[in-house]
Structure 1
Amino acid sequence: MKLSIISGSHRQESYSAKAATYLQHLAYSEGFREVDVFDLSVLDFPLWNDGVWRGSEEWSEWRQLADDLKTSDAIVLITPEWHGMATPALKNFLLLCTSAELGHKPVLLASVSASVNGVYPISELRMTGSKNNHACFIPDHLIFRDCETLLSADKAVSDERFHARATYTVQSLAAYARALGPVREALQQGMKDFPFGM
C-alpha cells in the first residue's frame, strides 16, 4: 500500500514536518510499503486560480503531485494550529484536490500545537475539507500537543501513551485503506458523473 503525507506548514523545518517524518517512520512499521512526505513549505503552490483547469505552466508542479496522489491508497494531512485554524497552504491544497486525487480514500487528520490546543483545525477540516474531493476522513485523528517537547527526537515522540495511540491510529488508517479500495473501484463512474458535493 502507498501512503502520502502532506505537511501543511508554511515554515521550513517546522514541527509539522517533524510530525510527518515520525508518521512516515511509523507507517512503514504498520504495513505501508511506500510512504512519501510532501512539504507544502517547499512546494509553495500558487493560490488556486482557474489556470489549474486549463493546465497553465504555473501548475506543472501541482500536476506532478496530483499524479502521485492518484496512486496513493491513503493520505495524512498535517496542519499546525494558527489562530485556531488550518493553514492557508493546506486549505489551498484541498481546493486543488478533486475526487481523482482523494475520492473515497481514507484520510487521517493531524494537527500540531505548541500548547494544549490543536482541536480547532481538525474541526475546520472535518467540516469543509472533503466537500468536492470526496475524501473519507477516518474517525480518529492525532493532535501533537506541546510539540516542542513531544517531537524532541528524530522519528520518535517523548510520550509513550501518545506513541501507542499514534500506532493504533496508523493501523486504523491501513485497515481503512485496504477496505476502501473496492469502494473506490465501484464508484469510479459515479465520481465522474457527480464530481461535486451538494
Structure 2
Amino acid sequence: MKITIVSGSQRANSQTLNVANYLATLAKPHFEHVNVLDLHQLELPFWNEGVWQGSEEWKQWEPIAHVLKQSDAFIFITPEWHGMATPALKNFLMLTTDEELAHKAALLVSVSASVNGVYPISELRMTGNKNNHVCFLPDHLIFRNCEAILTAEHKCNDQHQHDRSEYTLQLLAAYAKALAPVHRDMVNTGKPFRYGM
C-alpha cells in the first residue's frame, strides 16, 4: 500500500513538517511507499477555474494528482494558526477531486505550540471532504507543545503521544485496506453526485 502525508504549513522547516517526517517513520511498517508533500516547498497557486482547463500555471498539479491517485491513504497535517487550518492546506483540499481521494482513508492531524489544536480538526472535518469525498477517520492526532515533545531528528519523547500515534497509524492502514474496494467500485458510480445534493 501507498500513503501520502501532506505537511500543510506554509513556513520553511516547520514543526508541521517535523511531525510529517515523524509520522512517516511510523507509517513504514504498514505502507510499502511513504510520500511526504511539503506545501511550503510546492508553493501551489490558489485555486482558480484554470485548474479545470489545465492551464499552464496548473501543469505542476498533474504529477501531484498522479501521486494522490496512486495512494491508498492520506495524512493531512496543519498547524493551528489563529484557531484555523492553514490557507495552503485548505487550498490543497480544494484542488483535489474524487478521482484522487474519494472513499480513501485519511487521518487529520493538528500541531500546536501550546495546548490547543482542536479547532483546525473541526474546521477540516466540516468542509475538507465536501467534493473530494475522502473518508476522515473518526480518530485524529493533536501534537500539543510540539517543540517540547518532538526532536529535530523527528523523534517523539512523549511516550503516550508516541503510543497513540503508533496505534492511529495502524488504524489508518486497516481503514485503507477495508476501503480499497469501495474506491474501486464507487468512484465512477458516484460521478453524477460528486458535488452533493
TM-score (norm 1): 0.97
The aligned amino acid for 2:23 is L
Equivalent pairs, count: 197
Q: Which moved more, 1:118-127 or 1:148-157?
A: 148-157
Structure 2 partner of 1:71: 70
Residue correspondence of structure 1 range 84-163 to structure 2 within 5 A: 84-163=83-162
Q: Residue 108 of structure 2 contacts residue 136 of structure 2 at CA under 8 Å; is this kept in 1?
A: yes
Q: CA deviation at 1:153?
A: 4.2
Structure 2 partner of 1:24: 24
Aligned-residue CA RMSD (Å): 0.8
- Quick one: percent identity of the two aligned structures? 59
The aligned amino acid for 2:183 is R
**Secondary structure at the counterpart of residue 133 of structure 2:** coil
Q: CA deviation at 1:188?
A: 2.4
**Secondary structure at the counterpart of residue 141 of structure 2:** strand
Q: Residue 106 of structure 1 contacts residue 180 of structure 1 at CA under 8 Å; is this kept in 2?
A: yes
**Secondary structure at the counterpart of residue 189 of structure 1:** coil
Give the Cα–Cα distance (whole angstroms) in 2 for the partners of residues 101 and 186 of structure 1.
14
Q: Residue 98 of structure 2 contacts residue 187 of structure 2 at CA under 8 Å; is this kept in 1?
A: no
Matched, 1:81 2:80: yes
Q: Which moved more, 1:120-129 or 1:55-64?
A: 55-64
Q: CA deviation at 1:197?
A: 2.2
**Secondary structure at the counterpart of residue 28 of structure 2:** helix
Give the Cα–Cα distance (whole angstroms) in 2 for the partners of residues 87 and 189 of structure 1.
31
Residue correspondence of structure 1 range 2-81 to structure 2 within 5 A: 2-29=2-29, 31-81=30-80
Q: CA deviation at 1:62?
A: 1.2
Q: Residue 4 of structure 2 contacts residue 36 of structure 2 at CA under 8 Å; is this kept in 1?
A: yes
**Secondary structure at the counterpart of residue 113 of structure 2:** coil
The aligned amino acid for 1:10 is Q
The aligned amino acid for 1:101 is E
**Secondary structure at the counterpart of residue 139 of structure 2:** strand
- Give CA deviations for 1:61-96 in whole Å, capped at 9, x if unaligned: 111101110010000000000000000000000110
- Give CA deviations for 1:161-197 in whole Å, capped at 9, x if unaligned: 1100000000000000000001111202223222212
Q: Residue 20 of structure 2 contacts residue 77 of structure 2 at CA under 8 Å; is this kept in 1?
A: yes
Q: Residue 76 of structure 1 contacts residue 108 of structure 1 at CA under 8 Å; is this kept in 2?
A: yes
**Secondary structure at the counterpart of residue 75 of structure 1:** strand
Q: Residue 108 of structure 1 contacts residue 138 of structure 1 at CA under 8 Å; is this kept in 2?
A: yes
Structure 1: any 5+ residue segments left out of the alignment?
Answer: none
